Amino acid sequence: MAMKFAYTAMDGQGKEQHGRVEAENEQEASAKLKQQGLFPTGIKEIRSGGGGRGLQAGGATAAKKGGLLSMQLGTPTLNTKKLSTATRQLATLLNAGLPLVRALRTLERQAKKDISLRRITGDLANSVEGGSTFTEALQAHPKTFSKLYINMVRAGEASGALEGVLERLAVFMEKGQRIAGKVKSAMVYPVIVLVVAMTITSGLMVFVVPKFGKIFEEMLPGSKLPGLTRFVIGISNAMVAPFTNLNNCIIYAILLAVLAVAFSFVRKTKFWNYYRDLLAVKLPPINTLVIRTTVSRFCRTLGTLMQSGVSVLQALQIVRDTAGNEIVSRAVQTIHDAVKEGENMSKPMYEADIFPGMVVSMVEVGEETGALPEMLNRVADIYEEEVDRAVETLTSLIEPFMMVFLAIVIGTIVIALFLPLVELIKNIGSQSAG
């Protein structure tokens, strides 16, 4: 006798779907949903009394520990740090000889406080138990598992070396996090100095300069103030204007809102991304860090994919989509087209004028010796060390630059206010002499 089941599932685009299905049991319900292109994440029998019999086959633990929660809170996601840790743990469990489903269930049980990890590992285990491949199970969570991750797992499943691929993925993500952490930490000091400089400058312009402006009007009536003083007072008046009356506040608020909307629209365009990234790779001294970071990421991603068994053309497509830089993405597309026509990678890399000569030479050697993946990973190791040095150099350059910038801004305001005072002192001196 067919029973009715309520389900929660993900479609091919990663959107959550809810509905009902009739089947003899939960396994058959899961199979029917997969035939429709859906990946079930929760299945519960509908009874006349409103009760439920639990979640999908093998998911009793998930039912007790958040199956209903998964239907209430939407699609769970993991950040890169949590994902890299879970990937390494899964690789370790598989290396220890555990079957995939049991390894996933072990991670699910261990994730007592991490609801998202518990739900995702439970969903993956349920899908694999229901007959899906691990790759198909991952595709149901596109917000957590990138194209790179999914394609590497697909290659690992096809070659029977899934644990090795997961180990490479964990190393890849950990090294990416380390580089990102270095760059972010290097930016902390300049950002703090810039915020302090803007706060001090704004305080002077809003509270101090207007008072001096009134003093100059009273003490030097009819006198023409120096150009620098007029410039600083003009900026001060413009900054104070929004707070003088309600109409000004409304006008400035509307203006800011329009600018914010316009900027949010423009920054999503390819035109903006292209010229922003072009400036980043051309403007010294930032370009040194950007190029080294980009080259390191390009080589590491491509080398890891090829080493895991992904074809070179598919690997280049994934690198293009995950480059994070429009200039590099276009260069990788050119390399992909050349390789598709039967050419080597080194020639289009050289013509792209982005990759350093040493990188092009090592890629050429890798192609000639048939050890391109290993050579790419070696280049990535070299450039990760270069990134560390570039970060240190950039930090040492930024510190004095920010100090000089702060001194110039505040010094300009002080000099602008001091010049009329000299004139005022002269007038007082001439009146005393008279």
| pLDDT, position 12 | 60
Angle between the N-to-C axes of helices 326-340 and 312-322, in degrees from 0 to 180, rounded to the nearest 10: 170
Would you state the structure tokens that stand for residue 265, as one six-digit string? 């629209």
Query: Distance between the two ends of the chain, CA-based, in angstroms?
Result: 116
Question: Rounded to an integer, what distance in angstroms lies between the CA atom of residue 157 and that of residue 135?
Answer: 8
Other CB atoms within 10 A of residue 68 CB: 16
Closest CA to 59 of 24, 4, 20, 105: 105
Phi and psi (nearest 5°) for 32? -65, -40
Residues 6+ apart with CB under 8 A from 258: none
What whole-number distance in Å separates Cα of residue 47 and Cα of residue 51?
6
Please provide residue 7's backbone torsions phi and psi, each rounded to the nearest 5 degrees. Answer: -135, 155
Q: How far is CA 351 from CA 184, 355, 357, 361, in A?
A: 31, 9, 11, 13
Report yes or no: 388 and 180 within 8 Å, Cβ to Cβ.
Answer: no
Contact 20, 46 (CB under 8 A): yes
- Mind listing the pLDDT tens digit of every residue in the chain (434 residues)? 578 888 877 666 556 678 888 888 777 787 788 788 776 667 777 765 444 433 433 343 333 334 433 343 457 888 888 999 999 999 999 988 888 999 999 999 888 788 999 999 999 999 898 888 999 999 989 889 988 899 889 888 887 888 888 998 888 888 888 888 877 877 787 888 888 888 888 888 889 899 888 888 888 777 788 889 999 999 998 888 877 777 878 888 899 999 999 999 988 888 888 899 889 888 887 888 888 888 888 998 899 888 888 889 988 988 888 887 889 899 999 999 999 999 999 999 999 888 999 999 999 999 999 899 999 999 988 988 888 888 888 778 887 888 888 888 888 998 998 888 887 777 676 666 65
Stretch (H or E) spanning 4: strand 3-10
Alpha helices in 36-114 (DSSP H): 60-64, 67-72, 80-95, 100-110
Q: What is the pLDDT of residue 62?
A: 38
Contact 32, 54 (CB under 8 A): no
What does the block give as tokens for 271? 């035109």
> Under DSSP, is residue 187 helix (H, G, I), strand (E, B) or coil?
helix
What's the rounded Cα separation, in Å, for the pair 105 and 92? 14
Q: How many residues are recorded in the chain?
A: 434
Predicted TM-score (pTM) above 0.75: no
* pLDDT value for 1: 59
Contacts of 46 (CB under 8 A, 6+ apart): 3, 4, 5, 6, 20, 52
Residue-wise burial string across 287-322, b where 16 or more C-beta atoms lie within 10 A, e elsewhere: ebbbbbbbbbbbbbbbbbbbbbbbebebbbbbbbee
| Bridge partner list, 9 | 17, 40
> In this structure, what are the phi and psi dihedrals at residue 100, rounded to the nearest 5 degrees?
-60, -50
Question: CA 420 to CA 426: how far, in whole Å?
Answer: 10
Q: Any idea what DSSP says for residue 58?
A: T
| Residue 96, pLDDT score | 86
User: What residue ranges define each of the domains in the chain, with the CATH number in brackets?
Assistant: 3-72 (no CATH), 80-168 (1.20.81.30), 169-295+356-434 (no CATH)
